[in-house]
Structures are given as structure tokens and as C-alpha cells.
Amino acid sequence: MENVYDVIIIGAGPAGLSAGLYAGRNRNSTLIIEKSQDGGQIAITNEIENYPGQELEGESGPSLIARMTKQAEKFGCERVSSTVESVDLKSSPKKVTTADGEFLGKTVILATGAAHRQIGCENEQEFVGRGISFCATCDADFFRDLEVYVVGGGDAAVEEAMYLTGFARKVTVIHRRDELRAAKSIQEKAFKNPKLHFMWDSVVTKVDGDGILSKMTVKNTKTGELTEIEADEDDGIFGLFGFIGMIPTTNLFADQVELDERGYVITDPDMHTNLDGVFAAGDLRQKSLRQVVTAAADGAIAAMQAYKYIQDCE
């Protein structure tokens, strides 16, 4: 008879690894499938300061994830490094087909995460984590008393820009249009903030620097004029935050699991999706805060609910 896992987890970011840890401790046979490196978004984060219990000095995304991976392995999680090509979440058992084979599970935990929309400028990837960030809550303190630029014009961009004014000495919002898309109530607060400035009809076309971000080129969308911006000589760096939306990684199961209008998986507080035995955890889920700590919590809840589902079915 073909092997059927108690729990199959798709994705090995903080949510998936946390789910694996809890599922393994529950003595559930558990398989974690990840197509690339463990960690998801956190794997490219150089410094972490706000995860409870972390190393106070020298904690990075990779170092935190390495410990999470070892914990999951300690409790017996099996691993497959492969790309998931299709899923059948309505069958019993549920079926996950990868480039390297097919796997069956009594339950499935979806933990494929979400990706930040890129700013779309030349050399962008070279400076992610070295001046470019997509999370003010994570990285604002690294830019204390420095100059910071925010790309975007919606609610998230303006709210995060206001948050950053609590750390940076000056925050400039770069927006491709001549007016914000954010709610009027948010705009009113933003325009009253003396540390918040605006660069209208503009897009960032190129970033540069010697290992860290210290230069960028901004283009006026109406005139085509290029403006070169350099970090203050005493600072040597400035921050560039992108807030132009997130893209949940949910296309693989969009025709089976209920999604909201933005493509995020809809769950109840216990991570149940609309399908029995299918749970979702982490950044792909409809939620208000996307942080390592909330992803880990989601994963733990999902694993415990999977355990309960299995027990109830036996």
C-alpha cells in the first residue's frame, strides 16, 4: 500500500517549519516540501531584532531559519526538495504532485508565503537587505537618524512612511502619480507630519553603491528628467523601502481553496480553509500582520488543528 503521511506541509518558511516542528512532536508522520532554500522572505534578511528569544547579537534570517530547520528535523520531519506541480486537495487522501514524484497526505498545510512586489529598478536585487527593504516593522530601526525613501502611494506605503518618521530624520515618499491613492484620512495625517516629504510623478530607475545603498536615479514620469540622489557623506547610506503590494503564492491551488479578492487564502482563526483537512499558515493567509512571529504562530496552530482533524477521523 502506498505511504500516506499524516501531514504534508508545502513550504519551509517560518510557518512551514513551525508547523513541521509541532506536527513532528505530535508524532504525526510529516513531510515538508520546499522547492528552494528554507526561510522564504526571511532567508534574505541580514539582521533580525524583533523575534522573541532570538540571539541578541548577530542574529540573521539565515541563522534563525537554520535553527528552525534543525528543530523540525529533530522531531522526524521528512524533507523533499522539489517543485510542486499540482495538488488535489479535495481527494482522500490528498495528493501533492512534484517534479520528483507524488505524495499522499491525510492533511495538507499550505505555507507557500507571499512575495513583495519589486520596485523594478536596475540593480535592485544587489541591495535587498543592504539598504533596500520591504518591511518597515522589521528594519526601521536600522535607519535611525538616516534619510529614508518610500516607493508607493497607497494606504500601506503612506502608513509605513509615517511609521518610519519615528526613526529616520527625514522620509520622502516617491510616487509615480501627482496624488496619493491612500485613504483621505491617512493622507491628512501624512501631510501634517513635518518629517514626511513627497516626490511626485517619479519612479526609481536605478540603485547603486559600494556594497550598501548610497545612490539612486529617479525619473520624472512626465518630463523624463533624471535626478541623481546620493547619501549624505556622513551617513554613507540611505534606506529605500518598497510598498507597492504583495503577491501571495497561491496560484497552485486557487481553483480549490477559497481566496479573497487579492489572492490571499481565507481561513478562520484556527487556520482552517474551506476544505476539510486543509490548513493555511503564514504570509499567504488573509491577515493584518506579516512577521516571522505571526507566521510561526500560524504554523503551530495549523499543526495542532491537523492533529485534531486526524484524531477525529480515526
What single DSSP character describes residue 263? S
Are the beta carbons of 275 and 296 closer than 8 angstroms? no
Do 232 and 251 lie in one domain? The reply is: no
Which of 135, 201, 208, 235 does the annotation list as catalytic? Answer: 135
Alpha helices in the chain (DSSP H): 14-25, 61-74, 136-139, 155-164, 184-192, 292-313
List per-residue pLDDT tens for the chain, 314 residues long.
Answer: 479 999 999 999 999 999 999 999 999 999 999 998 898 877 766 677 788 888 888 788 889 999 999 999 999 999 999 999 999 999 999 999 999 999 999 999 999 999 889 999 999 999 999 999 998 888 999 999 999 999 999 988 999 999 999 999 999 999 999 999 998 999 999 999 999 999 999 999 999 999 999 999 999 999 999 999 999 999 999 999 999 988 999 999 999 999 999 999 999 999 999 999 999 999 999 998 888 999 999 999 999 999 999 999 98
Q: How many domains does the chain have?
A: 2
121 is annotated as an active-site residue: no
Do 140 and 285 lie in one domain? The reply is: no
Backbone angles phi, psi at 132, to 5 degrees: -95, 135
77 is annotated as an active-site residue: no
Residue 44: per-residue pLDDT: 66
Do 278 and 293 lie in one domain? The reply is: yes
Alpha carbon distance 302, 19 (integer Å): 7
Which of 6, 139, 283, 298 does the annotation list as catalytic? Answer: 139
* 94-98 vs 101-110, strand pairing mode: antiparallel
Q: Which of 207, 242, 277 is the last residue of a domain?
A: 242
Q: DSSP assignment of 116-169, as one string?
A: EPP---BTGGGGBTTTEES-HHHHGGGGTTSEEEEE--SHHHHHHHHHHTTTSS
Residue 1: per-residue pLDDT: 45
Do 134 and 277 lie in one domain? The reply is: no
Do 252 and 112 lie in one domain? The reply is: yes
Degrees, nearest 5: CA angle 106-271-104? 20
Residue 46: per-residue pLDDT: 63
* 84-88 vs 170-174, strand pairing mode: unpaired
Residue 213 is part of a domain; what is its CATH number?
3.50.50.60
Q: Which of 179, 212, 242 is the last residue of a domain?
A: 242
Do 161 and 302 lie in one domain? The reply is: no
Q: Which residues pair with 94 in a beta bridge?
A: 105
Do 107 and 212 lie in one domain? The reply is: no
Rg (CA), the chain: 21
Domain extent, residue 234, equals 124-242
Do 14 and 48 lie in one domain? The reply is: yes
Do 230 and 283 lie in one domain? The reply is: no
Residue 241: per-residue pLDDT: 97
CA dihedral 128, 133, 137, 140 (to 10 degrees): 100
Which of 38, 138, 283, 298 does the annotation list as catalytic? Answer: 138
| pTM metric for this prediction | 0.78
Q: Which of 242, 266, 293 is the last residue of a domain?
A: 242
Do 164 and 256 lie in one domain? The reply is: no
234 is annotated as an active-site residue: no
Do 235 and 280 lie in one domain? The reply is: no
What is the chain's percent helix, strand, coil content, to nearest 5? Answer: 30, 30, 45
Do 154 and 207 lie in one domain? The reply is: yes
Residue 70: per-residue pLDDT: 95
